[in-house]
Every structure is written in structure tokens, then in C-alpha cells.
Structure 1
Amino acid sequence: MASSCLSFNASVSPNHDLFRRHPSSPLLRYRPVLVSCTSPADGNNTTTPIETITKPRRTENTIRDDARLQRSTAANPFSARYVPFNAPPGSSEQYSLDEIVYRSRSGGLLDVEHDMEALKRFDGAYWRDLFDSRVGKSTWPYGSGVWSKKEWVLPEIDDDDIVSAFEGNSNLFWAERFGKKFLGMNDLWVKHCGISHTGSFKDLGMTVLVSQVNRLRKMKRPVVGVGCASTGDTSAALSAYCASAGIPSIVFLPANKISMAQLVQPIANGAFVLSIDTDFDGCMKLIREITAELPIYLANSLNSLRLEGQKTAAIEILQQFDWQVPDWVIVPGGNLGNIYAFYKGFKMCQELGLVDRIPRMVCAQAANANPLYLHYKSGWKDFKPMTASTTFASAIQIGDPVSIDRAVYALKKCDGIVEEATEEELMDAMAQADSTGMFICPHTGVALTALFKLRNRGVIAPTDRTFYNKLSSKV
């Protein structure tokens, strides 16, 4: 039986068994490695050494050119679409990803749904080996931590349409001294999502959204630019990726509520920057009105495409620990898309057989902007938005989060917890972390405060493998 591994970015003998491929197998454009492959027909794993012939790379080619040369004409068996978030069984409402739509017919959120049956034709070992084989490579577009999982992100996009700065693949930091000294923990880890092109985890989602916009513009869809409301990090990521693709961008920022570093980035990248005398929620209301009336594509996490990129950080955590599942993952929460994105990444890995369980998750909020925390403490009764007060954790200073329904769904599914941090608590946590060799942002201080509280209550055990997410490299 022929293997389901297909073609790779190398010169391989044309008579090799790999070229007698199953007609429905997915395209793997990659360098030669030893991989464990599963035949769709028999489900048996075999390790297939790949015969290679040294072929010098043409120096005038770019990595995009090399990807084009290795492109297969085989049909892509994977697909994705928009569906209403948490739709009831039997719902037939769906939209192509090439449609410009942000809400369901009932006004609810949308989600990107993948053809899981097509993905399940290949077992967990297959996907683990595939993703592992792409780490540390410069092959386009798989050098990106996001696009190395392309089949799970935007499977139908052409590689030429992808706009990437090889984001993702962020490192882990073992917080050895901090964990032992302040928490009595020996297995505490930091996921440095902020070590990225523009300095925050927002790059993970923006590469996906801007790539899809690039595709839509090439299809002559009515998109003249991309816009967002922001507390700083989203605008920096949007402006950088749009500038890379030559796409106009417009950002609405709350006046006097973001850092100078966050303000300089979109201006330097040529975005049209508007400082509005309101808070983030006011900026969000304005950009939603504008994108509803003008051919400007909405880039906030109301648009579920962003979450497809952000979920890859969860997959990376599993990958970096040889697909072992941690006990806890702590994520700061403002607009609340990221907690759902992490859940979605973990859940896909479980459903597709890469792991057998998912971790418990904690969403940490600043006490001055804590609508999710109050909702959690009420027993998930009627959600009430609030007017957020000023907090040092300005990027999560949001009182009416767009993704509240997504966050509640994720936390219920993973038996999650919500905690809060006062201004004094988050600053104390920052100081303690910094004293042991870290240099963290206030939002990470919020996550650490949640960790302190859960350790003190005995919810998190000293031996639990725990991750907290450092979402920005800016202070």
C-alpha cells in the first residue's frame, strides 16, 4: 500500500514509492526527513527513509519561488468555512471564507469550522510528525509557527497569498528560580508569545487575517483597506502586516490610553491613525459602524479568522513538550478572543488524536476591567458589560468584550477558572518576576497574580506543570 506522504522540497527519484501516492492524500511540500506516515486505507504507520539527491539552490530564487517550483497539482482535500458560533444541531447556515461576513443571520458570532472528517483520515502520529518536521525550517510558508499548521488554519489559501513574517515558534522559559522562590513550584513555564515581529501575540492572528484580505483583493472583492480599534498591540500588528502586503490600514486608538511604543508602530508603518476621545469600547463601536458602511475589512477579533492563527500558540505548547499535556494554562483576558483560541487549539489536538486530554485554563483579568470575572463569580448568570477603569494593563482595559460568549464556552468546556488582579497585586507580581531574571509586561503581571491566588488556595499543586502566557514584549 502506498504511503500517504506525498511530495517534499527536495530532489527525489521520480521512481520512488512516494510518488505512487494515494489520490486523496494531502500535499506536503517539505524537506526530506524521516516521518511516520499513515496510509488512509490501512492505518498502519511506517517509517519511510526518503532518497535524496543534492541539488544546489538557484541563488536568484526567493523562498516563494522555491515553493512555486515544488507545488503539486494534486487536489487539496482540506477545507474550512464560517458557521454560527456554537450553532444548534442541524443548523445549515454557513459561509465561504471568501465572503465578507462577521456575524450570523441572528447577529451572533461566527466561528471557523474545519472539515474534521477530512482531517481525521490521518491519525495523530501523522499530524505530530508533519508539524514537527516543519520546525526550524525556512521553507515558505512553513517557517512560520502559524503556517506550519496551515492545514488546520487556512487550508485553501494559495501560498502566494500568504503574508508572513515567520511569526510564532516563540520560546519557552523555565521560570525555575521564580517558581521555587515565590510559589514552591518546580515545573512553571512561560510561553513568550510576545517575542514576535511587532512585539505581541497579535501577530499570530494578523498573519491569517491579512493573508485572507490579500486573497480577497486579488479576487477583486470590495476591500480597499483594513481597519481596527485597538489598545495598542492590534494596531501595531495590523499596520505591519498590511504594510508588508501594500494594503492600506486605518486604526482607531483611545486617546492617552496606550504606550508610546504602541503609538509609534502603526504610524511608522504608514497606517492612518486616529486618536479618539473615548475608551476601547467606544473605538470598537465606531469601527464596526464604519466597516458596515464602507469597503474596509474588520480586523478585530469579532472576525473569527484571527483566532485561527492565535490557536497555534496552544498547539506549540504541546509540541514543545513532545506532545505532553500541561495541567494548567493561564491567559490574560481583555477582549477574550485568546482564551477561546487556546481552547480551540487544544481541543483540535485532542479530537485529531495528537493528545488524549486538554489542560484546565485560567483567564486572568485586571480588577479595573473585570466583566468576565464578575460574570464567573455570579455563576455565569446574565452578563453585564461595564465601563472599564484605568489599569496599568492597558491592553486588557476592556469593559464590553466582543468574545464574551466564546470565552464562557471555552471555560465551561475545560473546567476553567477566572481570576482578577488589583493594580497593587499585578505590580507586585511584576516586581517579583523581574527580580528573578524576567522582564514582564503588566498583562503578564495579571496572569501571575492569578497564579499566586490559585497556589495559595491549593487549587494549583506545587507539582502541576503550569504555563502562563507572556503576550507582549512591550512595557
Structure 2
Amino acid sequence: MTLSFGQNGVFFMKKALLRCKTCGAEYGADRAPFRCACGEPLDLAWNGFGIEANERCQSRRYAAFYPFAAGEWRSLGEGGTPLVKLETLAKELGLAEVAVKNESANPTWSFKDRGTASCIAHARALGYTKVGTVSSGNMAASVAAYAAAADMEAFVLVKGNVADEKLAPIAIYGPHLLRVAGPYYELYGESLRLGAERGIYFMNSDVPFRVAGSRTIAYEIAEERGFRVPDWVIVPTSAGGNLRGIVNGFEDLRRAGLTEKLPRFICAQAANISPIAAAFAAGAARIRRFPDNETIAHAIDNPFPPSGNRVLAELRRLGGAVLTASEGEIVRAQADLARCGLFGQPASCVPLAVLRRARADGIVAEGESAALVMTGSGLKYTAAFAAHRLEWRDCDLASLPAYLK
């Protein structure tokens, strides 16, 4: 494939590097390697920093943290999501602060829009006109939407057993939507291979610029707290790219002198599918494929996460933890957040469930603070309503006064 570069894109990209934290190898960001030759993921290495205080959108407020010319971004208004303090839960748990970073406020209702926006900018800088992803949920809708906004052709690959009703919210944006029979875990690597062959930029779960997009979650949490970082940041984890990006973001801020310390991190997984937790508990350096069990937290049901080994290494380096939540604990957490006015999809409620466990186990101490990343809207998975006891009543106009007491 022959790639064409805009003048500004060439200038910036030649200064940026993609670095493997596992083996130390470096690659130029003016091409599109998605994994290191050693098999582990890559991270953006870029020394620019600066904050445009009057801008809310990620692509304008934090543009200096990315090696893109302004014209390469195609924003839908991602970022700038609220950090909501939950005083009732903080009091219940004996903590100084419990706050939820509400990523459902992004354009397609999930954190994926941050990484998609930066991937689209990278793809445009490299001259791509076709993009793709492997997903059946948040990332699929995000890539389809942003490709439409950028007037790019999109290829979205989903599991062969995905129900029709889950496809409609993706198909509405007009991508090439392909339901692929066969082992889903093999699609990740096969899509990258075919993308390189066919000139399609596959922005899968933990490619470098998707991970780079998640850094802005850290920037915003710090900014919203006056650059005083919380003691703990808890992230629901599937592939591992989002957690990696958030860790990198807090390290960016400390390196720039904007914060004095790093928070500690908890990787939150559903107990039914928890390969990172299993490896962490066993003291292993590498994850093993986990049984592909069912969980209500379907957005994080990844039995063999591509960034699993990297997440293990980062958590051990930084004194973090990996905790799991049962199905019942996840449902309770979803209900509790809803009672606070926040309706997250089950996977995005796992952080609250594991925070309770972390308090019970003494991992999170009394009086500390915690930021929970609520990754997506509950409207993404309405089948979860069946797990709750929901009540309503019918009445006629004449009997209405009797109910309003």
C-alpha cells in the first residue's frame, strides 16, 4: 500500500515514536505498526504537553499531548465527561471521596470515542481512507460513527452469534458490518494481518493510538480535582488498553510537573471471566486463556486479553491490584449507581463492586479517595433489566390522587 502524507502530518509523525515497554523496541509513528515484534503492545512516546483551558473537547483541549496537526482530527465532541462525586457511597464505605468518571456522556455513550478519535487522526495523517475494528459493542458503534463523520469507509467485524438487535445501533452509521463465524479471539490478529494487506487501518482494542486516547481520562480526572490525584483509580478491564492508557496519562501529568504523585490502580474484572486476576493471584508473568464463561458484564468478557501481560507488569510495578466481582455483586452495583442517578452498563459498574471488596479486604483504607471509571451507558445493554426487580403501577385519572401521597 502506498501512503500519502499531509505536510503537517509528516512533520509531527516523524518526531513521535511507538515504544514497547516489554522489550524496549521503538518504531516510528509515521507508519502503522500495531504490535511489537516481540508480540506485546506498543505505547505512544511523545513529549508534547499543554492544556487549552477554554476548550472542552479532547482533540482541542489536549491537542499538545498528541502528534497530530489540527486538520487531522475529526471530532464529535468526545471527552469533557463529568466526574460525579457520590457522597452517600463515600459515607457508606468510610472514604473521603468516591467519584465516578461518567464516560457514557461521550458521543456514542462510551469511553471508546476517545481512542477512536485519536485513531482516526492517526489514520488520516498516514493517508488511510479505510478503517475497521473487531467488536460487537461499544467500539463497533464508535468506529462506525467516527468513520462516517470523517467520510471514511468502515469495516466492522463482529462475532457470528451476535443478535440482530445488537447490530442495528452499529449498522445505522453505514459501515460494512460483517458477522463472522469462527473463533472470535482469532479475529483480532487476523484483522490486523488483513488490514495491512488490504490498506485498512484496524483500530482494535489496544492499538497504540486507541490507548493514547484513553490518556485523556487521566488528564480530566486530575484537572477536575485541581491536579490532586485520587488515591485509587478503578477501571473495568477487558483487553487492557483502557487501563494502560489511563496509567500512561497519569504518568504524563507527573512527568510534566502537573501532579506530584501517581494514584494506585485496580483492574476490575467479572469473576466469571477474569484471566488477568487469575494470573495476578498466581504470581504469573503471563496470562493464560480463561474459560469463555457467561457474564452479565459482556463488555469485558475477554478470555484472552491482548494487553493482559502488559497490565500485569504495570500493576506490579505501581503497587496496584486486580479484583473480581460476582454476577450478584455486579447487579447490585448497577442498581446502587442508578439510585445515585448514574445508569451504567453492567461492565462499567464492576469498579463499584470491587471497591466494596477492596474496602472489606483492607486494600483501600478508611479515609482514602477513589475514582471509578464508568465506561459506558446502561442503554447499551438493556437485557440487564431482567436481572433487576423493577416495579411500576397502572392507574386511571380518577384514582391518581390516591397514589400521590
Same fold (TM over 0.5): yes
> CA–CA distance in 1 between the matches of 2:155 and 2:16?
28
Question: Which structure: greater helix fraction?
Answer: 2
Q: Secondary structure at the match of 1:460?
A: coil
Query: Is structure 2 residue 242 aligned with structure 1 residue 338?
Result: yes
Q: 2:107 aligns with which of 194, 197, 203?
A: 197
> Residues 350 and 425 (structure 1 numbering): CA distance in 2 closer, same or farther, change over 3 Å?
same
Q: How far apart, CA to CA, are the structure 2 residues paired with 1:266 and 1:346?
A: 32
- State the partner residue of 1:461: 365
- Secondary structure of the residue aligned to 2:207 is coil
Alpha-carbon distance change, 112 to 258 in structure 1, aligned in 2, over 3 angstroms:
farther
CA distance in 1, matches of 2:136, 2:12: 38
Amino acid corresponding to residue 85 of structure 1 in structure 2: K
Relative to 1, partners in 2 of residues 1:467 and 1:215: Cα closer, same or farther, differing over 3 Å?
same
Of 128, 134, 145, which residue of structure 1 is paired with 2:53?
Answer: 134
Instruction: Choose from 60, 80, 88 the match for 2:16.
Output: 80
Which residue, 236, 245, 255 being the options, matches 1:351? Answer: 255
Contact 1:337 1:406 in 2 (8 A): no
1:226 to 108, 117, 131: 131
What residue is the counterpart of 2:126 in the other structure?
216
- Structure 1: state its 5+ residue gaps: 1-71, 120-126, 138-142, 218-222
Q: State the secondary structure of the residue aligned to 1:344.
A: helix
Matches within 5 A, 1:251-330: 251-257=156-162, 260=165, 263-278=167-182, 280-330=184-234
Contact 1:391 1:423 in 2 (8 A): yes
CA pair 145-256 structure 1, distance change in 2 beyond 3 A: same
Contact 1:310 1:338 in 2 (8 A): yes
Listed one character per residue, the Cα deviations across residues 61-96 of structure 1 (whole Å, up to 9, x for unaligned) are: xxxxxxxxxxx9xx98993212333334xxxx5332
Specify whether residues 178 and 265 from structure 1 end up closer, same or farther in structure 2 by C-alpha distance, changes over 3 A only.
same
1:173 equivalent to 2:88? Answer no
Shift of 1:330: 0.3
1:275 deviates by 1.6
Q: Distance in 2 between matches of 1:282 and 1:358?
A: 35
1:144 aligns with 2:57: yes
In the alignment, which residue of structure 1 is the partner of 2:41?
Answer: 109
Q: Please, which of 236, 239, 242 is the counterpart of residue 147 of structure 2?
A: 242
Shift of residue 382 of structure 1? 4.1
Look up the SS of the partner of 1:408 in the other structure: helix
- In structure 2, the CA distance between the partners of 1:328 and 1:236, relative to structure 1 (3 Å rule), is same
Please tell me the residue identity of whatever aligns with 1:234. Answer: M
Q: Quick one: distance in 1 between partners of 2:285 and 2:207?
A: 26
SS in 2 for 1:194: helix
Q: Distance in 1 between matches of 2:97 and 2:14?
A: 37
Matched, 1:424 2:328: yes
Any conservation in 1 of the 2:102–2:373 contact (CA below 8 Å)? yes
C-alpha separation between the residues in 1 aligned to 2:172 and 2:356? 39
Which SS does the other structure have where 1:238 is aligned? helix
**Equivalent residue of 1:311, what SS?**
helix
Distance 1:160 1:308 in 2: 18
* Count of residue pairs brought into register by the alignment: 370
Deviations 1:339-365 (A, max 9, x none): 111110001111221111100000001
**CA shift for structure 1 position 203:** 0.4
CA 1:424–1:161: 2 relative to 1, 3 Å: same
2:368 and 2:75 map into 1 onto residues whose CA distance is: 35
- The answer for unaligned runs of 5 or more in structure 2 is 1-7, 382-405
Is the 8 Å Cα contact of residues 258 and 394 (structure 1) preserved in structure 2? no
Q: Deviations over 1:430-459 (max 9, x none)?
A: 123323433222012211111010111222
State the percentage of identical aligned residues: 27
Q: CA deviation at 1:179?
A: 2.9
Amino acid in the other structure paired with 2:293: S
Conservation of the 8 A alpha-carbon contact between 1:339 and 1:410: no
AA at the equivalent of 1:184: G
Higher relative contact order (CA 8 A, sep 6+): 2
Q: CA RMSD in A?
A: 2.3
TM-score (norm 1): 0.73
Tell me the TM-score normalised to structure 2 length: 0.85
Question: Could you report, residue by residue, the CA deviation over 1:451-475 in whole angstroms, capped at 9, with x for unpaired residues?
Answer: 0101112221231111101000133
Corresponding residue SS for 1:188:
strand
- Contact 2:232–2:263 (CA under 8 A) maintained in structure 1: yes
Give yes or no for contact 1:391–1:397 (8 Å, CA) kept in 2. Answer: yes
